[in-house]
Amino acid sequence: MGRTRNRRTTMQAPAPVVDANAANASSGYFLAGGMGLIGILIVWYFELPLNFDVTDREFNPLIFVPAVFILIGFYSLLKAVRDTWRVRKFGATTLVAGPAMA
């Protein structure tokens, strides 16, 4: 007759991983400020005329580049505000996951 062995495998308990929700919000504010500053500095450095009449000789299409930077900054600001509200309401998100294969 065969003996059955008791096999005990030692598995480590899954370590909780804390998501960086507050860090995402603060980096969003930093990105929003940086993009807005870049948009303003482009207009200041290149001395772009704020002329949006496309039929005028003074029209420079480069004026749309700072507008894109400012839009990206505005979007990042909205995202950072949403992340801040989520962190204040729910706190830090904790993910506890075990091993994928036993």
Instruction: State pLDDT tens for residues 22-50.
Output: 788 889 999 999 999 999 999 899 888 88
Residue 12 lies in a domain: no
| Structural domain for 41, as ranges | 18-91
Residue 37 lies in a domain: yes
Which phi and psi angles does 17 have, rounded to 5°?
-110, 120
Task: Kindly tell me if the per-residue pLDDT of 99 is higher than 80.
Answer: no
Q: How far apart are CA 101 and CA 77, in angstroms?
A: 41
Residue 9 lies in a domain: no
DSSP secondary structure letter of residue 5: P
Residue 28 lies in a domain: yes
Grouping H, G, I as helix, E, B as strand and the rest as coil, residue 46 is helix
DSSP secondary structure letter of residue 100: S
Query: How many structural domains are present in the chain?
Result: 1
Residue 98 lies in a domain: no
Q: Give residue 89's identity as a one-letter amino acid code.
A: K
Residue 101 lies in a domain: no
